[in-house]
Structure formats: C-alpha cells, structure tokens
Chain A
Amino acid sequence: MSKHRKVAEPEYHPLVRAYLTDLERALTGTEPDEREDIMIAVREHLQEALPPEGDGDVQAVLESLGPVERISREASPSTPEEPSRRAGDLGFVLSGALSIVLLALNPFVALFFAMIIGSTAFFLSRRGSGNRGLLRVAAGLCAATVLVSVVWIVALLPARSNPPEVGPTHSVESGDRP
C-alpha cells in the first residue's frame, strides 16, 4: 500500500473540528511533508480513539493529544530556500540557455558544454539538492542542445569526410610557348 493515503473524512464533533483547524494553523510554519503526515496521523488517532457513533469522551481524547502548540513545537520548522542556492540553480538555467546560443557558433563546443551542465543539473535534481524545478529546466535545455548538436554534427560529418570532387584535369597545351 502507498505511504501517503488520505483517511476518509468522517463527520467530526465540533470540538474535534475546532482542534484540527487549530492544529493545521499551528503547523503552518513546519515542513509541508511533516505537516501532512501529522494531520493524517492525528485524524487517524481521533477516528481510532473516538467511537463512530456517539460523542465518546471527546474532551478527554483531545486532552490526551495535548495542546496544538506543543505538537507544532515538536515538528521541524520549514527551511526557507537559501538565496545563494536559488541563484546557483538560476545559473544552471542560464547556462542551459547559453548552450543553445553556443549551438549557433560551434556545435562541438555546445555539445561539450551542455553535457557537463546538463548532467550536473540532472544529478543535483535527482539528489534533491536545490530547486528541483529549476534544475530540471536546466537539464531539459541542455538535453535539447545535446540532441540538436548531435544531429548537426552527424549531418556535417559526411560533408567533411568526403573531399571535394575534382573534375578531370585538362592539360592545356599551348603551341605559342617558345
């Protein structure tokens, strides 16, 4: 079964609804994945601890869960993206665009450049370092450059390998020569 699964939302007691709203608000500044995990787990806990019919001891169950602030203190705060890292990722995108410009000058240089930048951006995005979206854009631009430059180089090869055809030579004899 999947790791993330939404538990079917039952009809909650008004106190439970208020608690869940407060908890969601308290978890605003935490890691999004962790926030989702906690909300799912707390909902599951409430469904297990409270009988489906009747109110059960709602107050006691909510007290056992504890104040929402205490739960949010336990959660990891979300980490804002560092400006320097974002600038680095933008640099990859610009380099990807530059590789396309280089195509117009020299497909061999463009191919070499795009392979280095593209593979680095690809591995960084796979590793989860930096902004995955920007790194994928950079890798995509470089992949396009590699594709175009390879086609271009393949098209150029026959033209370079075949020496220009030389027509039959005609010796010109001049009878005027002394």
Chain B
Amino acid sequence: MVSHDNIRAQMRKGILEYCVLALLRGGPAYGLEITEGLSGQGLLDSDGTLYALLSRLRKQGWVETWWRESASGPPRRYYALSPDGAAALNTFVDLWVPFSQSVTRAISEEQAP
C-alpha cells in the first residue's frame, strides 16, 4: 500500500522549486528564512533538502545569491529571484491554475459515476 509520505513526496517533486521561487517573489531571503517560510506552509518535511534544491536553482540561473554581513551572527547567503526564475514562475502559474482545477474536478466525488 502506498504510504501517506510517499504520495506527499511524489506531489512535492517538480512543484517545490516553484514554491521557493514564489516565496522569493516577496524579496531576497536567506536559507533559514526560506526553510521557515516553506515549513510553516507544510511544504517542506526536511530543511536540508531545500539546500540541494537552492543549489540547483542557482545553477539553472533561476536564483541569484550573494553574501551579506549579519548583525546577529555569521554572514548570510541571500537568495533572490532572477529574471529567468521570474519567467519560469509565471509559466508555472499559467499552467498550474487550470491543471490544479482539473485535478480537483477529477477527484471530486460529484464527478464519480
């Protein structure tokens, strides 16, 4: 039987990166801020996996990074949405809204024969 965790992990694949981009739409953020933002929405079940994802997004050119001194501790690496990342996010949003509506319709009980 497929476990709850497995289904959630499958659903996150390919979607979480756009949630990160959407979070960065609000402005640059450092690692811990991003993990807190995503965990607070129940989108992240282990913070460490986010850093692998952020590294890939940086390599793809979808996020830009830089270091900034912190008043309360060590320097922080900030992540910001790049123009390519913003374009990718817009494309995802265009596709996601009708797709998620179709999924909702497909699995709703009223549609069942």
Binding site for B on A (CB under 8 A): 1-3, 5, 7-8, 10, 23, 33-34, 37-38, 40-42, 44-45, 47-49, 52, 64-68, 70-76
Instruction: Determine whether B92 belongs to the interface, using a CB cutoff of 8 Å to chain A.
Output: no
Picked from A1, A3, A67, the residue with its CB within 8 Å of the CB of B46 is A67
For window 38-78 of B, CB contacts with A under 8 Å fall at 39, 45-49, 51-56, 58-59, 65-68, 73-77
Closest Cβ neighbor of A74 among chain B residues: B52
A-B contact pairs, 13 of them (CB 8 A): A1-B66, A3-B66, A7-B74, A37-B58, A38-B51, A44-B32, A44-B76, A45-B31, A45-B48, A48-B31, A68-B48, A71-B51, A76-B56
The interface size of chain B toward A, counting residues with CB under 8 Å, comes to 27
For window 10-49 of B, CB contacts with A under 8 Å fall at 30-32, 35, 39, 45-49
Binding site for A on B (CB under 8 A): 30-32, 35, 39, 45-49, 51-56, 58-59, 65-68, 73-77
Contacting residues, chain A, for B74 (C-beta < 8 A): 7-8, 10, 44, 47-48
